[in-house]
Amino acid sequence: MSRPTGRVLTLLELLQSGGVRTVAELADRLGVDGRTVRRYVDHLVDLEVPVEAVRGRYGGYRLGPGYRLPPLMLSDDEALAVLLGLAAGRRAGLMTTADTAVETAAAKIRRVLPERVARRLDTVLESLAFTASPGELATPDAGVLLAIADAVRHRRPLSIRYTDRDGRRSERRLHPHGIVAHSGRWYVTGTDAEIDQDRTFRLDRIADARTLPGSFEAPVGPGPAQRVLSGFATAEYRHHVTLRIHGTVEQIRARLPASVASVDEPAAGADPETGRWLRVEIRAEQLDWLPPVLASLDRPFVIERPDELRGLVAAFADRLASYAGQV
C-alpha cells in the first residue's frame, strides 16, 4: 500500500467515526493540504464510497447514512491464506507497498481475529523461515497500477510518463495488453501507439498513467506473460550470442528459459524426443554466467558467436579439469 493509499484509508476511518469533518480538520489529521484532501475524497467516491459534501460555514465531508465497512469474518484457512500471502508477497517483491504498510495490514487482520485463531496463526508465522531475504526492489505506485489495470480491462489507451534505465524521460501513448509480475518486478506490456510496436515497461518507472479517449482491439497471438518473456530475450544488450545446441526444446529450456533465450522450434514432423540441432539466440550484458550454464545442459553445442565466449568456455573447462585433478 503506497503512502497516499494509506492516507485515503485513514480518511475513510475518520469519516466512519461519524459527523461532519471540515477540510481543515481532515488536512491536519492527514498531514496534507486541503486540495489533497479533496483529491482523496474523489478517490473514495471512485470506489463507490458515498462521501457527501456539506456546504456552509461549518461544512466539510461526511459519509452517507448507514454506510459502514462490512465486518471482517474469516475462517481459519482464509486468515492463514491472507497472512501467508502478505508474508510471501513481501518476500517475492510483489507488493506495491512499503514494508511498514504490510506489517500494519497484517496487524489489523490479527487484531480482529478470535484469540484462538490468532494464536494458531502466530505459531505458523513464528516458525516460518525463508531461504532469501526480501529484495530491495522498487515498488510501483498503487494509483498507477490501478489505472493501468482498468485500462487493460476496458481496452482503453493510456498516456504514461516513463523514465528508462538510462534516466531518459518520455511520454508514451500505450495500448496496454496486460500486467505481468516477473522476478519480483511488475511490468505492463502493450503496443506503443506512436511506433505501432510491442513494448514492455516497468511499472515502478511510470510516474503517471492517464486514461485517454477511445478504445483498441485485443491483440491476437501470445498472451501478456509470453510477450514480456519474449521481449526480455530479444532486448538490446551488449552481447548477441548465437549457439547451436543438440537436444530437445525442453532440455534447452530447463537451463535457458524464454526470458533469457529464443529457441528455434523443431521442424514439422520432427521427433521431439530424440532431439536435433537447434539454433539458440541470447542477448546479455555479461558473458561470464554462460559457461557454467552451458556445461549444466550436458548437451553438445557449437558457439557461432561471439569469439569471446569460446575463450570463456575453454577457460571454464580448464578450471574444472584442474579441480578434478586435485587430491
Domain segments of the chain as ranges: 3-63, 76-127, 142-222, 236-324
- DSSP characters over 16-61: HT-S-B-HHHHHHHHTS-HHHHHHHHHHHHHTT--EEEE-STT-EE
The number of beta carbons lying within 10 Å of the beta carbon of residue 325 is 7
Query: Partners of 280 in the beta sheet?
Result: 243, 263
Residue 88: closest CA among 113, 121, 125, 123: 125
Q: Do residues 293 and 243 lie in contact, with contact meaning Cβ atoms separated by under 8 Å? A: no
pLDDT of the chain, 327 residues: tens digit per residue: 446 777 888 888 888 777 888 998 999 888 899 899 999 999 888 888 888 988 877 778 988 876 665 555 667 777 778 877 877 777 666 666 555 666 777 777 777 677 777 787 778 777 777 766 555 566 788 788 889 999 999 999 999 999 988 888 999 999 999 998 887 788 999 999 888 888 889 998 999 999 999 999 888 888 888 888 877 776 667 888 999 999 999 999 999 988 788 898 765 555 555 568 999 999 888 899 999 999 999 999 999 999 999 999 999 999 998 888 776
Tell me yes or no: is domain 236-324 CATH 3.90.1720. Answer: no
The number of beta carbons lying within 10 Å of the beta carbon of residue 159 is 14
Pick one of 1.10.10.10, 2.40.50.70, 3.30.70.2860, 2.30.30.790 as the CATH number of 3-63. Answer: 1.10.10.10
Vertex 50 angle, CA 17 and 102, to 5°: 65
Separation of alpha carbons 160 and 173, rounded Å: 7
Q: How far is CA 152 from CA 71, 189, 193, 213, 215, in A?
A: 31, 10, 15, 14, 10
142-222: CATH topology is: SH3 type barrels. (2.30.30)
Separation of alpha carbons 98 and 146, rounded Å: 17
Strand order of the β-sheet with 276-284 is: 261-263, 276-284, 239-247, 301-305
The separation between the first and the last C-alpha atoms of the chain, rounded to the nearest angstrom, is 56
Residue 200's Cβ-side half-sphere holds a number of Cα atoms within 13 Å equal to 22
Q: Do residues 250 and 273 lie in contact, with contact meaning Cβ atoms separated by under 8 Å? A: no
